[in-house]
Amino acid sequence: MTRVLVPSGVLGLGFDGPALMRGAQMKPDIIAIDGGSTDSGPFYLGTGTSKYSRAASKSEWRQILQARALAGVPLVIGSCGTCGTDSAVDWMYKITTELAAELGQTLKIARLYSSQDTAKMQAALAKDRIAPLMPNLPIDHDLLSDCSHIVALAGAEQINAALATGADIVLAGRTTDTASIAALPLARGDHAGAVWHGAKVAECGALCSTNPTSGVILVDFDATGFEVQPLATGAACTPHSVSAHMLYENSDPFILYEPGGHLDVRNARYKALDSACVRGDGAKWVVAPRYTVKLEGARMVGYQTTILALLRDAHYVRNAQAWADKLHAFLTARITERMALGPQDYTLEFRLIGANATLGSLENRQAQPVEIGVLGIITARDAAMADEIGRMINPFVLHYPLTEDEELPTFGFPYSPAQSDRGALYEFCLNHVLELDSPMDAFRLVVDEVGP
Amino acid sequence: MRLADKVVKVRSKNAGPFWVTIDVFCGAPDVLAAVSAQLPAERVAALYQQPVETLKRFEIPDIFALKFSLPRPVVQGSRDDRDMHGAQYAVLLAELELDD
């Protein structure tokens, strides 16, 4: 049997501190937490940086290090610093070394690196060792060169390699959401289907319970199943809250792909053991014929400048789309004339907040709003061009009239300068798996000891 | 009557950067049966202006839920994306008019 304490769905989002300390005293075998996701968008992988503030991450990590010292067991964090690049692992390492000194703890730390070398990825592609997932995105030698960062998602095998070093703390680069929870129970021989199933249930912390923001949960894995309970006072896991979590952020509610195989929960059963604890069993782990890890990559695709204007005059609110279309046509000609730029250099888009900014062409409702926010988005080849276009369009976004024969209107600008330079725009551009002969082939381990 | 008025919850979220998934929690078996009959894959695909061939439809009778997953009409965070977390896609389905 293996007991895993999960402080929260992600480091940086907060958790119930007393519940975590209670959990540390309930003899867990390991503490595991996730540090990242693609869910906040491509910027973090594109830049190799964390979404969460350093102060919030350090404050929470301090509490978790204290809980770990109390429990005297290993601590694993997967997908360090949101994106799990090597730079994000090192960011987390620096925070950990500061805390080790501040808390007077001597710690053996294993860093598991997930970033991929461009040339090695190009060689793998040439040898047909990179295969597409659905939807099938185009891939070639140059696309791999364009990626500012490529990471491979570590699974249980790589986390176990890091744990096998005897580390107190494993700081892992990009990892599947479930692997840092699943690793130790698998190594100890608990039921593989139940392990992956329980790990999926627990990967978002207390999201599988009736009090999602409380964070802390405890999962026991054994020879046939898993048992999960939240540790915050008043929170409960129910068969419904646990089984419903299989749907969360998962395109298939019954099948979950992991490095080396997939989880199948079609025959899973859930039973309430008491008012707060649920037992699950019946899930199956199916080993894949080839060992593959998923790849993620982000590339820079331009630089953005935005401008926001407010239409409150009822006549302009009523005719906002026609106004925006007319303004767009006018500005396109103006930018060509004054800057000699065309569609290969930049795009300009106006989104009407209050009309259809959220759903765009999918929107099927119409209503008369009180006001409209006009969000102008310029995406250009370089930052100076985006900034310059922003300056060029500024007076027209402020004053452009709907008709020729009216007095010059002036719309609302909420701040000065009206334009905001957003910097580089990144996009996710890999949806592929990489085949490996041995799980550690695409990953690296660095182990050292830090302390006061 | 709108779907949202018949069921407990309609929610959506990214399932990775390339998929969006929409969950409909019906709360009871009779509601699931009634709602499911009116939400064939074709109708949901049309609502999201996507081909039915790539839409995945699931019924999860144990928790009286329906689930639809489709490749994101625009990739998460790309230039044309409007909803980074994909949580607003659910609104279209929630507001869909169904027979009583």
Does ipTM exceed 0.90?
Answer: yes
Beta strands B9-14; A372-380: pairing state: unpaired
Residues B15, A360: C-beta atoms closer than 8 Å: no
* Span A356-415, pLDDT tens digits: 999 999 999 999 999 999 999 999 999 999 999 999 999 999 999 999 899 999 999 999
pLDDT score of A152: 98
Residues B56, A137: C-beta atoms closer than 8 Å: no
How close is the nearest chain B Cα to the Cα of A29, in Å? 30
Residues A364, B92: C-beta atoms closer than 8 Å: yes
How close is the nearest chain A Cα to the Cα of B94, in Å? 12
Positions of chain A with pLDDT under 50: none
Q: What is the mean pLDDT of chain B?
A: 97
| A254 contacts on B by Cβ (under 8 Å) | 58
Encoded tokens for B25: 């929690």
pLDDT score of A35: 94
A251 touches chain B (CB under 8 A): yes
pLDDT score of A212: 85
pLDDT score of A431: 98
Q: What residues have CB less than 8 Å from A436, skipping those under 6 apart?
A: A291, A292, A293, A442
pLDDT score of A419: 97
**pTM exceeds cut of 0.90:** yes
| B15 contacts on A by Cβ (under 8 Å) | 249-251
Query: Is there a contact between A74 and A30 (Cβ–Cβ < 8 Å)?
Result: yes
Closest CA relative to residue A56, chosen from A30, A74, A82, A18: A82
pLDDT score of A63: 98
Provide mean pLDDT across the span B30-40. 98
| A278 contacts on B by Cβ (under 8 Å) | none
DSSP string computed for chain B? -BHHHHSSEEEEEESSTTEEEEEEE-SSHHHHHHHHHH--HHHHHHHTT--GGG-EEEEEGGGTEEEEEEE-SS-TTSTT-S-TT-TTHHHHHHT-B---
Residues B82, A351: C-beta atoms closer than 8 Å: yes
A412 touches chain B (CB under 8 A): no
